[in-house]
Structure 1
Protein backbone atom coordinates (compact mmCIF):
# COMPACT_ATOMS: atom_id res chain seq x y z
CA UNK A 1 0.00 0.00 0.00
CA UNK A 2 1.14 3.53 -0.76
CA UNK A 3 -0.44 5.79 1.85
CA UNK A 4 0.74 9.29 2.64
CA UNK A 5 0.40 11.18 5.92
CA UNK A 6 -2.74 12.96 4.71
CA UNK A 7 -4.40 9.58 4.07
CA UNK A 8 -3.54 8.32 7.55
CA UNK A 9 -4.57 11.56 9.25
CA UNK A 10 -7.88 11.56 7.36
CA UNK A 11 -8.59 7.95 8.27
CA UNK A 12 -7.84 8.62 11.93
CA UNK A 13 -10.19 11.62 12.01
CA UNK A 14 -12.99 9.75 10.20
CA UNK A 15 -12.69 6.81 12.59
CA UNK A 16 -12.76 9.04 15.67
CA UNK A 17 -15.65 11.18 14.41
CA UNK A 18 -17.67 8.25 13.06
CA UNK A 19 -18.41 10.39 10.01
CA UNK A 20 -16.69 11.02 6.68
CA UNK A 21 -18.03 14.58 6.58
CA UNK A 22 -16.82 15.48 10.09
CA UNK A 23 -13.55 13.58 9.73
CA UNK A 24 -12.82 15.23 6.40
CA UNK A 25 -13.49 18.66 7.89
CA UNK A 26 -11.04 17.97 10.73
CA UNK A 27 -8.44 16.95 8.14
CA UNK A 28 -9.13 20.09 6.09
CA UNK A 29 -10.68 18.18 3.16
CA UNK A 30 -14.01 18.60 1.38
CA UNK A 31 -16.42 15.64 1.48
CA UNK A 32 -15.79 14.67 -2.15
CA UNK A 33 -12.00 14.69 -1.70
CA UNK A 34 -12.19 12.77 1.59
CA UNK A 35 -14.49 10.12 0.08
CA UNK A 36 -12.22 9.69 -2.94
CA UNK A 37 -9.15 9.22 -0.74
CA UNK A 38 -10.92 6.65 1.40
CA UNK A 39 -12.11 4.68 -1.64
CA UNK A 40 -8.55 4.72 -3.00
CA UNK A 41 -7.22 3.42 0.33
CA UNK A 42 -9.72 0.56 0.26
CA UNK A 43 -8.83 -0.22 -3.36
CA UNK A 44 -5.14 -0.41 -2.46
CA UNK A 45 -5.84 -2.56 0.58
CA UNK A 46 -8.14 -4.86 -1.39
CA UNK A 47 -10.53 -4.94 1.56
CA UNK A 48 -13.24 -2.73 3.05
CA UNK A 49 -11.97 -0.47 5.82
CA UNK A 50 -15.28 1.23 6.69
CA UNK A 51 -18.87 0.15 7.08
CA UNK A 52 -21.01 2.98 5.71
CA UNK A 53 -24.51 3.56 7.08
CA UNK A 54 -27.12 6.29 7.25
CA UNK A 55 -25.90 7.33 10.71
CA UNK A 56 -22.20 7.43 9.84
CA UNK A 57 -19.37 4.97 9.51
CA UNK A 58 -17.79 2.27 11.66
CA UNK A 59 -14.61 0.26 11.23
CA UNK A 60 -14.19 -3.22 9.83
CA UNK A 61 -11.55 -5.47 11.43
CA UNK A 62 -9.13 -4.33 8.71
CA UNK A 63 -10.05 -0.73 9.49
CA UNK A 64 -9.31 -1.28 13.17
CA UNK A 65 -5.84 -2.59 12.23
CA UNK A 66 -5.17 0.41 9.99
CA UNK A 67 -6.37 2.83 12.70
CA UNK A 68 -3.87 1.33 15.15
CA UNK A 69 -1.00 1.93 12.73
CA UNK A 70 -2.29 5.38 11.73
CA UNK A 71 -2.19 6.43 15.39
CA UNK A 72 1.32 5.11 15.84
CA UNK A 73 2.52 6.97 12.75
CA UNK A 74 0.75 10.14 13.90
CA UNK A 75 2.42 9.95 17.30
CA UNK A 76 5.84 9.45 15.73
CA UNK A 77 5.29 12.43 13.41
CA UNK A 78 4.33 14.64 16.35
CA UNK A 79 7.44 13.55 18.27
CA UNK A 80 9.56 14.33 15.22
CA UNK A 81 7.96 17.76 14.90
CA UNK A 82 8.52 18.47 18.56
CA UNK A 83 12.19 17.48 18.45
CA UNK A 84 12.91 19.30 15.19
CA UNK A 85 11.01 22.28 16.52
CA UNK A 86 13.81 22.74 19.00
CA UNK A 87 16.06 23.51 16.03
CA UNK A 88 13.77 24.99 13.38
CA UNK A 89 11.28 27.68 14.30
CA UNK A 90 8.05 27.76 12.38
CA UNK A 91 7.58 23.98 12.17
CA UNK A 92 3.97 23.32 13.15
CA UNK A 93 3.15 21.10 16.11
CA UNK A 94 -0.32 19.75 16.93
CA UNK A 95 -1.74 18.72 20.30
CA UNK A 96 -5.14 17.09 20.75
CA UNK A 97 -6.59 18.14 24.11
CA UNK A 98 -9.92 16.74 25.35
CA UNK A 99 -11.73 18.44 28.24
CA UNK A 100 -15.07 18.34 30.00
CA UNK A 101 -17.49 21.28 29.88
CA UNK A 102 -16.30 22.98 33.06
CA UNK A 103 -12.65 22.91 32.00
CA UNK A 104 -13.45 24.00 28.44
CA UNK A 105 -15.67 26.92 29.43
CA UNK A 106 -14.29 28.04 32.78
CA UNK A 107 -10.65 27.10 33.26
CA UNK A 108 -8.88 26.68 29.92
CA UNK A 109 -9.39 29.86 27.84
CA UNK A 110 -6.75 32.00 29.58
CA UNK A 111 -4.06 29.31 30.08
CA UNK A 112 -4.42 28.13 26.49
CA UNK A 113 -4.30 31.68 25.16
CA UNK A 114 -1.08 32.36 27.06
CA UNK A 115 0.47 29.11 25.81
CA UNK A 116 -0.47 29.81 22.17
CA UNK A 117 0.89 33.34 22.39
CA UNK A 118 4.20 31.99 23.70
CA UNK A 119 4.34 29.11 21.17
CA UNK A 120 3.16 30.43 17.78
CA UNK A 121 4.29 27.24 16.04
CA UNK A 122 1.82 25.03 17.98
CA UNK A 123 -1.83 24.35 17.18
CA UNK A 124 -4.23 22.85 19.75
CA UNK A 125 -7.30 20.82 18.83
CA UNK A 126 -9.56 21.35 21.87
CA UNK A 127 -12.63 19.10 21.96
CA UNK A 128 -15.35 18.83 24.61
CA UNK A 129 -16.15 15.31 25.84
CA UNK A 130 -17.52 13.60 28.92
CA UNK A 131 -14.93 12.69 31.54
CA UNK A 132 -15.42 8.97 30.90
CA UNK A 133 -14.79 9.39 27.17
CA UNK A 134 -11.76 11.63 27.82
CA UNK A 135 -10.03 9.10 30.05
CA UNK A 136 -10.65 6.29 27.55
CA UNK A 137 -9.36 8.34 24.61
CA UNK A 138 -6.15 9.36 26.38
CA UNK A 139 -5.52 5.81 27.63
CA UNK A 140 -5.94 4.48 24.08
CA UNK A 141 -3.60 7.09 22.59
CA UNK A 142 -6.35 8.97 20.69
CA UNK A 143 -5.40 12.25 22.41
CA UNK A 144 -2.17 13.40 24.02
CA UNK A 145 -3.79 15.19 26.97
CA UNK A 146 -7.14 15.31 28.71
CA UNK A 147 -8.85 17.12 31.58
CA UNK A 148 -11.53 15.07 33.30
CA UNK A 149 -13.33 14.76 36.61
CA UNK A 150 -11.94 12.27 39.09
CA UNK A 151 -14.86 9.84 38.73
CA UNK A 152 -13.42 8.64 35.39
CA UNK A 153 -11.51 5.36 35.09
CA UNK A 154 -7.84 6.36 35.46
CA UNK A 155 -6.32 2.96 34.62
CA UNK A 156 -3.20 3.38 32.49
CA UNK A 157 -3.08 7.14 33.08
CA UNK A 158 -0.97 9.64 34.98
CA UNK A 159 -3.17 12.23 36.70
CA UNK A 160 -2.15 15.67 37.96
CA UNK A 161 -4.40 18.04 39.94
CA UNK A 162 -5.87 20.79 37.77
CA UNK A 163 -8.88 22.57 39.34
CA UNK A 164 -11.89 21.97 41.60
CA UNK A 165 -15.32 22.29 40.01
CA UNK A 166 -18.66 22.50 41.83
CA UNK A 167 -22.08 22.18 40.23
CA UNK A 168 -24.93 24.34 41.58
CA UNK A 169 -28.57 25.03 40.84
CA UNK A 170 -29.52 28.50 39.60
CA UNK A 171 -33.03 29.91 39.90
CA UNK A 172 -34.95 33.19 39.95
CA UNK A 173 -34.71 34.99 43.32
CA UNK A 174 -38.40 34.26 44.03
CA UNK A 175 -38.26 30.56 43.10
CA UNK A 176 -39.63 28.21 45.80
CA UNK A 177 -36.21 26.54 46.10
CA UNK A 178 -34.34 29.84 46.53
CA UNK A 179 -32.74 30.20 49.94
CA UNK A 180 -32.48 26.47 50.57
CA UNK A 181 -29.19 25.30 52.08
CA UNK A 182 -29.04 22.34 49.73
CA UNK A 183 -31.30 20.48 47.32
CA UNK A 184 -31.04 16.89 46.08
CA UNK A 185 -31.27 16.37 42.34
CA UNK A 186 -34.26 14.07 42.80
CA UNK A 187 -36.21 16.93 44.38
CA UNK A 188 -35.14 19.43 41.73
CA UNK A 189 -36.37 17.13 38.95
CA UNK A 190 -39.90 18.19 39.79
CA UNK A 191 -39.17 21.57 38.17
CA UNK A 192 -38.46 22.43 34.52
CA UNK A 193 -34.89 23.16 33.48
CA UNK A 194 -32.98 25.33 31.05
CA UNK A 195 -30.37 22.92 29.76
CA UNK A 196 -27.19 23.19 27.74
CA UNK A 197 -26.81 22.39 24.05
CA UNK A 198 -27.25 18.88 22.70
CA UNK A 199 -23.49 18.61 22.15
CA UNK A 200 -22.64 19.57 25.73
CA UNK A 201 -20.68 16.94 27.64
CA UNK A 202 -22.01 18.34 30.92
CA UNK A 203 -25.61 17.99 29.72
CA UNK A 204 -25.04 14.31 28.91
CA UNK A 205 -23.38 13.84 32.30
CA UNK A 206 -26.36 15.42 34.11
CA UNK A 207 -28.86 13.37 32.11
CA UNK A 208 -27.09 10.24 33.36
CA UNK A 209 -27.36 11.33 36.99
CA UNK A 210 -31.04 12.18 36.49
CA UNK A 211 -31.66 8.70 35.11
CA UNK A 212 -29.92 7.16 38.12
CA UNK A 213 -32.24 9.22 40.31
CA UNK A 214 -35.15 7.52 38.49
CA UNK A 215 -36.12 10.66 36.64
CA UNK A 216 -35.17 12.94 33.78
CA UNK A 217 -34.37 16.59 33.21
CA UNK A 218 -37.45 18.24 31.73
CA UNK A 219 -35.81 20.74 29.39
CA UNK A 220 -37.80 23.76 28.25
CA UNK A 221 -34.91 25.03 26.15
CA UNK A 222 -31.24 24.21 25.54
CA UNK A 223 -29.09 27.33 25.92
CA UNK A 224 -25.81 27.85 24.03
CA UNK A 225 -23.74 27.95 27.24
CA UNK A 226 -23.80 28.02 31.06
CA UNK A 227 -24.01 31.81 31.38
CA UNK A 228 -26.92 32.02 28.94
CA UNK A 229 -28.71 29.29 30.91
CA UNK A 230 -28.12 31.26 34.13
CA UNK A 231 -29.53 34.47 32.68
CA UNK A 232 -32.68 32.66 31.58
CA UNK A 233 -33.03 30.88 34.92
CA UNK A 234 -32.67 34.22 36.72
CA UNK A 235 -35.73 35.49 34.83
CA UNK A 236 -37.87 32.54 35.89
CA UNK A 237 -37.71 30.37 32.75
CA UNK A 238 -36.60 27.30 34.72
CA UNK A 239 -33.77 25.94 36.83
CA UNK A 240 -30.22 25.73 35.49
CA UNK A 241 -27.56 23.28 36.67
CA UNK A 242 -24.12 24.69 35.89
CA UNK A 243 -20.55 25.12 37.23
CA UNK A 244 -20.48 27.49 40.19
CA UNK A 245 -17.95 29.82 38.53
CA UNK A 246 -20.36 30.43 35.63
CA UNK A 247 -23.24 31.02 38.04
CA UNK A 248 -21.32 33.57 40.08
CA UNK A 249 -20.21 35.39 36.95
CA UNK A 250 -23.80 35.57 35.72
CA UNK A 251 -24.92 36.68 39.18
CA UNK A 252 -22.71 39.75 38.93
CA UNK A 253 -24.85 40.96 36.02
CA UNK A 254 -28.36 40.03 37.21
CA UNK A 255 -30.05 38.95 40.47
CA UNK A 256 -30.33 35.20 40.80
CA UNK A 257 -30.53 32.50 43.46
CA UNK A 258 -27.59 30.12 43.75
CA UNK A 259 -28.63 26.87 45.44
CA UNK A 260 -26.11 24.22 46.57
CA UNK A 261 -26.67 20.80 45.00
CA UNK A 262 -26.64 18.28 47.84
CA UNK A 263 -24.98 15.44 45.93
CA UNK A 264 -21.55 13.93 46.49
CA UNK A 265 -20.86 14.05 42.73
CA UNK A 266 -21.59 17.80 42.56
CA UNK A 267 -18.07 18.64 43.73
CA UNK A 268 -15.49 17.32 41.29
CA UNK A 269 -11.70 17.40 41.24
CA UNK A 270 -10.55 18.02 37.70
CA UNK A 271 -7.42 16.11 36.72
CA UNK A 272 -4.89 16.68 33.93
CA UNK A 273 -4.35 13.30 32.24
CA UNK A 274 -1.71 11.78 30.00
CA UNK A 275 -0.90 8.20 29.10
CA UNK A 276 1.30 6.35 31.57
CA UNK A 277 4.62 5.22 30.15
CA UNK A 278 4.14 7.03 26.82
CA UNK A 279 6.65 9.67 25.73
CA UNK A 280 4.79 12.85 24.85
CA UNK A 281 5.82 14.93 21.83
CA UNK A 282 7.86 17.95 22.95
CA UNK A 283 5.06 20.47 22.35
CA UNK A 284 2.51 18.29 24.21
CA UNK A 285 4.96 17.93 27.09
CA UNK A 286 5.38 21.72 27.24
CA UNK A 287 1.60 22.19 27.29
CA UNK A 288 1.33 19.61 30.10
CA UNK A 289 3.86 21.54 32.20
CA UNK A 290 2.13 24.83 31.42
CA UNK A 291 -1.32 23.58 32.47
CA UNK A 292 -0.01 21.77 35.54
CA UNK A 293 1.74 24.95 36.71
Structure 2
Protein backbone atom coordinates (compact mmCIF):
# COMPACT_ATOMS: atom_id res chain seq x y z
CA UNK A 1 0.00 0.00 0.00
CA UNK A 2 1.30 3.46 -0.90
CA UNK A 3 0.59 6.25 1.56
CA UNK A 4 0.87 9.67 0.00
CA UNK A 5 0.37 12.41 2.57
CA UNK A 6 1.74 15.85 1.80
CA UNK A 7 2.51 18.68 4.23
CA UNK A 8 -0.80 20.39 3.49
CA UNK A 9 -2.60 17.18 4.52
CA UNK A 10 -0.69 17.11 7.80
CA UNK A 11 -1.37 20.80 8.55
CA UNK A 12 -5.07 20.31 7.81
CA UNK A 13 -5.23 17.27 10.07
CA UNK A 14 -3.61 19.17 12.95
CA UNK A 15 -6.08 22.03 12.50
CA UNK A 16 -9.01 19.59 12.54
CA UNK A 17 -7.61 17.81 15.60
CA UNK A 18 -7.04 21.07 17.46
CA UNK A 19 -10.48 22.56 16.75
CA UNK A 20 -12.46 19.32 16.98
CA UNK A 21 -14.21 20.25 13.73
CA UNK A 22 -13.58 19.64 10.05
CA UNK A 23 -15.36 22.92 9.27
CA UNK A 24 -13.14 24.95 11.62
CA UNK A 25 -10.04 23.06 10.48
CA UNK A 26 -10.91 23.82 6.86
CA UNK A 27 -11.23 27.51 7.74
CA UNK A 28 -7.80 27.62 9.39
CA UNK A 29 -6.33 25.87 6.35
CA UNK A 30 -8.12 28.25 3.93
CA UNK A 31 -9.91 25.33 2.26
CA UNK A 32 -13.52 24.76 1.27
CA UNK A 33 -15.30 22.31 3.56
CA UNK A 34 -15.84 19.81 0.73
CA UNK A 35 -12.15 19.90 -0.17
CA UNK A 36 -11.07 19.47 3.46
CA UNK A 37 -13.47 16.55 3.98
CA UNK A 38 -12.16 14.88 0.84
CA UNK A 39 -8.55 15.32 2.00
CA UNK A 40 -9.29 13.78 5.40
CA UNK A 41 -11.06 10.80 3.84
CA UNK A 42 -8.18 10.49 1.38
CA UNK A 43 -5.76 10.25 4.33
CA UNK A 44 -7.91 7.56 5.94
CA UNK A 45 -8.09 5.63 2.64
CA UNK A 46 -4.33 5.92 2.10
CA UNK A 47 -3.54 4.72 5.62
CA UNK A 48 -6.29 2.11 5.67
CA UNK A 49 -7.55 3.17 9.09
CA UNK A 50 -10.12 5.59 10.57
CA UNK A 51 -8.49 8.72 11.97
CA UNK A 52 -11.63 10.43 13.27
CA UNK A 53 -14.99 9.53 14.75
CA UNK A 54 -17.70 11.92 13.61
CA UNK A 55 -20.89 13.02 15.36
CA UNK A 56 -23.15 16.09 15.53
CA UNK A 57 -20.82 17.86 17.99
CA UNK A 58 -17.76 17.54 15.76
CA UNK A 59 -14.97 14.98 15.54
CA UNK A 60 -12.81 13.03 17.98
CA UNK A 61 -9.43 11.43 17.28
CA UNK A 62 -9.16 7.66 17.16
CA UNK A 63 -6.04 5.98 18.53
CA UNK A 64 -4.63 6.04 15.00
CA UNK A 65 -5.58 9.71 14.72
CA UNK A 66 -3.68 10.55 17.90
CA UNK A 67 -0.63 8.72 16.54
CA UNK A 68 -0.84 10.68 13.28
CA UNK A 69 -1.26 13.94 15.25
CA UNK A 70 2.00 13.25 17.11
CA UNK A 71 3.96 12.40 13.97
CA UNK A 72 2.48 15.31 12.00
CA UNK A 73 3.70 17.75 14.66
CA UNK A 74 7.17 16.22 14.57
CA UNK A 75 7.33 16.39 10.77
CA UNK A 76 6.16 20.01 10.59
CA UNK A 77 8.51 21.10 13.39
CA UNK A 78 11.38 19.46 11.53
CA UNK A 79 10.34 21.27 8.35
CA UNK A 80 10.52 24.57 10.23
CA UNK A 81 14.06 23.74 11.32
CA UNK A 82 14.99 22.87 7.76
CA UNK A 83 13.55 26.15 6.44
CA UNK A 84 15.53 28.06 9.03
CA UNK A 85 18.82 26.36 8.15
CA UNK A 86 18.29 26.81 4.41
CA UNK A 87 16.87 30.32 4.54
CA UNK A 88 20.14 31.91 3.41
CA UNK A 89 20.09 29.77 0.26
CA UNK A 90 16.38 29.44 -0.49
CA UNK A 91 14.66 32.76 0.08
CA UNK A 92 11.41 31.37 -1.29
CA UNK A 93 10.97 29.31 1.88
CA UNK A 94 9.33 31.01 4.85
CA UNK A 95 9.61 30.30 8.53
CA UNK A 96 6.34 30.13 10.49
CA UNK A 97 5.96 30.83 14.21
CA UNK A 98 2.78 30.04 16.15
CA UNK A 99 2.45 32.55 19.01
CA UNK A 100 -0.36 32.53 21.57
CA UNK A 101 -1.06 35.31 24.07
CA UNK A 102 -3.67 36.53 26.52
CA UNK A 103 -5.66 39.72 25.95
CA UNK A 104 -3.22 42.16 27.55
CA UNK A 105 -0.20 40.71 25.75
CA UNK A 106 -1.83 40.91 22.34
CA UNK A 107 -3.49 44.30 22.79
CA UNK A 108 -0.86 46.25 24.69
CA UNK A 109 2.58 44.68 24.52
CA UNK A 110 3.08 42.62 21.36
CA UNK A 111 2.19 44.98 18.47
CA UNK A 112 5.34 47.10 18.71
CA UNK A 113 7.68 44.17 19.31
CA UNK A 114 6.19 42.02 16.54
CA UNK A 115 6.10 44.96 14.14
CA UNK A 116 9.83 45.48 14.60
CA UNK A 117 10.60 41.76 14.34
CA UNK A 118 8.56 41.23 11.16
CA UNK A 119 10.08 44.28 9.49
CA UNK A 120 13.55 42.90 10.21
CA UNK A 121 12.64 39.35 9.13
CA UNK A 122 10.62 39.43 5.87
CA UNK A 123 10.93 35.66 5.42
CA UNK A 124 9.19 34.82 8.69
CA UNK A 125 5.41 34.75 9.21
CA UNK A 126 3.72 34.76 12.63
CA UNK A 127 0.37 33.14 13.40
CA UNK A 128 -0.86 35.12 16.44
CA UNK A 129 -3.92 34.03 18.42
CA UNK A 130 -5.55 35.16 21.65
CA UNK A 131 -6.42 32.48 24.22
CA UNK A 132 -6.90 32.00 27.95
CA UNK A 133 -3.65 31.42 29.85
CA UNK A 134 -4.45 27.81 30.82
CA UNK A 135 -5.35 27.04 27.19
CA UNK A 136 -2.04 28.52 26.06
CA UNK A 137 -0.09 26.33 28.49
CA UNK A 138 -1.84 23.21 27.21
CA UNK A 139 -1.21 24.22 23.60
CA UNK A 140 2.51 24.64 24.28
CA UNK A 141 2.65 21.29 26.10
CA UNK A 142 0.87 19.61 23.17
CA UNK A 143 3.23 21.19 20.64
CA UNK A 144 0.40 23.10 18.94
CA UNK A 145 2.18 26.44 19.41
CA UNK A 146 5.81 27.50 19.65
CA UNK A 147 5.68 30.38 22.16
CA UNK A 148 3.02 31.42 24.67
CA UNK A 149 2.55 34.50 26.84
CA UNK A 150 0.50 33.80 29.97
CA UNK A 151 -0.33 35.26 33.37
CA UNK A 152 1.80 33.93 36.23
CA UNK A 153 -1.34 32.75 38.05
CA UNK A 154 -1.54 29.70 35.77
CA UNK A 155 0.34 26.45 36.45
CA UNK A 156 2.97 26.14 33.71
CA UNK A 157 4.10 22.67 34.81
CA UNK A 158 7.49 21.72 33.34
CA UNK A 159 7.51 24.40 30.65
CA UNK A 160 10.44 26.79 30.50
CA UNK A 161 9.34 30.31 31.50
CA UNK A 162 10.85 33.79 31.33
CA UNK A 163 9.47 37.14 32.59
CA UNK A 164 7.79 39.32 29.97
CA UNK A 165 5.84 42.28 31.42
CA UNK A 166 3.90 43.35 34.52
CA UNK A 167 0.16 43.24 33.90
CA UNK A 168 -1.69 44.60 36.95
CA UNK A 169 -5.43 45.14 36.52
CA UNK A 170 -7.20 48.42 37.26
CA UNK A 171 -10.81 49.53 37.51
CA UNK A 172 -11.74 52.39 35.17
CA UNK A 173 -14.77 54.51 36.09
CA UNK A 174 -16.17 58.00 35.44
CA UNK A 175 -14.48 60.72 37.51
CA UNK A 176 -17.79 61.46 39.27
CA UNK A 177 -18.44 57.84 40.29
CA UNK A 178 -19.16 57.31 44.00
CA UNK A 179 -16.05 55.11 44.35
CA UNK A 180 -13.70 57.34 42.36
CA UNK A 181 -11.91 58.68 45.47
CA UNK A 182 -10.78 55.23 46.61
CA UNK A 183 -7.08 54.33 46.47
CA UNK A 184 -7.80 50.71 45.61
CA UNK A 185 -10.85 48.44 45.32
CA UNK A 186 -11.57 44.75 45.90
CA UNK A 187 -13.27 43.05 42.97
CA UNK A 188 -16.12 41.88 45.23
CA UNK A 189 -17.07 45.51 45.86
CA UNK A 190 -17.63 46.30 42.18
CA UNK A 191 -18.93 42.98 40.88
CA UNK A 192 -22.58 44.16 40.92
CA UNK A 193 -21.85 47.35 38.96
CA UNK A 194 -22.82 47.75 35.29
CA UNK A 195 -19.79 46.80 33.21
CA UNK A 196 -18.36 47.76 29.84
CA UNK A 197 -16.21 44.95 28.46
CA UNK A 198 -14.51 43.39 25.48
CA UNK A 199 -16.39 41.44 22.83
CA UNK A 200 -17.06 37.74 23.33
CA UNK A 201 -14.09 35.39 23.26
CA UNK A 202 -11.74 37.77 25.07
CA UNK A 203 -9.36 35.98 27.41
CA UNK A 204 -9.52 38.89 29.87
CA UNK A 205 -13.32 38.84 30.03
CA UNK A 206 -13.30 35.07 30.61
CA UNK A 207 -10.80 35.62 33.41
CA UNK A 208 -12.96 38.29 35.08
CA UNK A 209 -16.15 36.26 34.65
CA UNK A 210 -14.50 33.32 36.39
CA UNK A 211 -13.63 35.44 39.42
CA UNK A 212 -17.14 36.90 39.49
CA UNK A 213 -18.63 33.40 39.57
CA UNK A 214 -16.38 32.56 42.53
CA UNK A 215 -18.10 35.39 44.44
CA UNK A 216 -21.49 33.94 43.54
CA UNK A 217 -22.24 36.70 41.03
CA UNK A 218 -22.31 37.22 37.28
CA UNK A 219 -21.02 40.34 35.58
CA UNK A 220 -23.68 42.51 33.96
CA UNK A 221 -22.48 44.06 30.71
CA UNK A 222 -24.20 47.11 29.26
CA UNK A 223 -22.10 46.94 26.10
CA UNK A 224 -19.08 45.07 24.71
CA UNK A 225 -16.51 46.55 22.36
CA UNK A 226 -13.41 45.41 20.50
CA UNK A 227 -10.78 47.66 22.08
CA UNK A 228 -9.61 49.04 25.43
CA UNK A 229 -9.92 52.57 24.04
CA UNK A 230 -13.56 51.91 23.13
CA UNK A 231 -14.27 50.66 26.65
CA UNK A 232 -12.77 53.80 28.19
CA UNK A 233 -14.82 56.05 25.91
CA UNK A 234 -18.01 54.33 27.07
CA UNK A 235 -16.89 54.58 30.71
CA UNK A 236 -16.26 58.29 30.17
CA UNK A 237 -19.90 58.61 29.09
CA UNK A 238 -21.00 56.93 32.34
CA UNK A 239 -22.33 53.78 30.66
CA UNK A 240 -20.60 51.59 33.25
CA UNK A 241 -17.19 50.66 34.64
CA UNK A 242 -14.46 48.43 33.23
CA UNK A 243 -11.42 46.40 34.31
CA UNK A 244 -8.33 46.80 32.13
CA UNK A 245 -4.57 46.21 32.23
CA UNK A 246 -2.85 49.17 33.89
CA UNK A 247 -0.96 50.06 30.71
CA UNK A 248 -4.17 50.60 28.73
CA UNK A 249 -6.09 52.21 31.60
CA UNK A 250 -3.41 54.80 32.41
CA UNK A 251 -2.86 55.59 28.74
CA UNK A 252 -6.57 56.35 28.27
CA UNK A 253 -6.75 58.34 31.52
CA UNK A 254 -4.38 60.92 29.99
CA UNK A 255 -6.97 62.00 27.41
CA UNK A 256 -10.33 60.96 28.88
CA UNK A 257 -12.44 61.94 31.90
CA UNK A 258 -11.96 58.62 33.69
CA UNK A 259 -10.40 57.50 36.97
CA UNK A 260 -8.13 54.45 37.23
CA UNK A 261 -8.03 52.59 40.56
CA UNK A 262 -5.94 49.44 41.21
CA UNK A 263 -7.75 46.23 42.11
CA UNK A 264 -6.59 45.06 45.54
CA UNK A 265 -7.11 41.33 44.88
CA UNK A 266 -3.94 39.23 44.73
CA UNK A 267 -4.98 37.73 41.38
CA UNK A 268 -5.12 41.23 39.85
CA UNK A 269 -1.38 41.77 40.42
CA UNK A 270 0.05 39.74 37.59
CA UNK A 271 3.33 39.12 35.83
CA UNK A 272 3.17 37.99 32.23
CA UNK A 273 5.46 35.08 31.41
CA UNK A 274 6.87 33.77 28.16
CA UNK A 275 6.65 29.97 28.02
CA UNK A 276 8.10 27.35 25.67
CA UNK A 277 8.53 23.59 25.78
CA UNK A 278 12.29 23.50 25.25
CA UNK A 279 14.20 26.53 24.03
CA UNK A 280 17.08 24.42 22.73
CA UNK A 281 14.75 22.49 20.39
CA UNK A 282 13.14 25.57 18.82
CA UNK A 283 14.00 26.45 15.19
CA UNK A 284 16.50 29.29 14.88
CA UNK A 285 13.95 31.87 13.73
CA UNK A 286 11.71 31.05 16.70
CA UNK A 287 14.63 31.42 19.11
CA UNK A 288 15.33 34.77 17.45
CA UNK A 289 11.80 35.99 18.28
CA UNK A 290 12.13 34.62 21.80
CA UNK A 291 15.31 36.62 22.31
CA UNK A 292 13.66 39.78 21.01
CA UNK A 293 10.68 39.33 23.34
CA UNK A 294 13.09 39.01 26.28
CA UNK A 295 15.12 42.05 25.20
CA UNK A 296 11.96 44.16 25.28
CA UNK A 297 11.25 43.41 28.96
TM-score by length of 1: 0.95
Q: Distance in 2 between matches of 1:194 and 1:227?
A: 11
1:108 is paired with a residue whose SS is: helix
Q: CA RMSD in A?
A: 1.5
Gapped regions of structure 2 (runs ≥ 5): none
The 1-side partners of 2:114 and 2:279 are apart by 25
Distance in 1, Cα, partners of 2:10 & 2:246: 41
The alpha carbon displacement at 1:278 in A equals: 5.3
Paired residue secondary structure (1:183): coil
Q: Is the 8 A contact 2:196 2:223 kept in 1?
A: yes
Q: Is the 8 A contact 1:186 1:215 kept in 2?
A: no
Give the corresponding residue for 1:240.
242
Aligned counterparts of 2:222 and 2:134: Cα–Cα separation in 1:
27
- Report the equivalent of 2:89: 87
Shift of 1:23: 1.7
Q: How does 1:113-124 map to 2 (within 5 A)?
A: 113-124=115-126
- Equivalences for residues 1-293 of structure 1 within 5 A: 1-276=3-278, 279-293=281-295
Aligned to 2:64, what secondary structure does the other structure show? helix
SS of residue in 2 equivalent to 1:98:
strand
Q: What are structure 1's unaligned runs of at least 5 residues? A: none
* Aligned-partner Cα distance in 2 for 1:89–1:3: 25
Work out the CA distance in 1 between the residues paired with 2:116 and 2:242: 31
- Taking the aligned partners of 2:112 and 2:279, their CA distance within structure 1 comes to 29
Equivalent-residue separation in structure 2 for 1:203 and 1:47 (angstroms): 42
1:263 Cα deviation (Å)?
A: 0.6
**8 Å contact kept, 1:185–1:213:** no
Q: What TM-score results when the alignment is normalised by the length of structure 2?
A: 0.94
Structure 1 residue ranges (4+ consecutive) displaced by more than 6 angstroms after TM superposition: none
Deviations 1:156-196 (A, max 9, x none): 21111111011111111111121211111111112111121
Number of matched residues?
A: 293
Distance 1:104 1:41, change over 3 A: same
- Are the counterparts in 2 of residues 234 and 257 from structure 1 also a CA contact under 8 Å? no
Return the alpha-carbon distance in structure 1 between the equivalents of residues 150 and 215 of structure 2.
Answer: 23
Tell me, yes or no, if the aligned pair for 2:170 and 2:262 is still in contact at 8 Å. yes
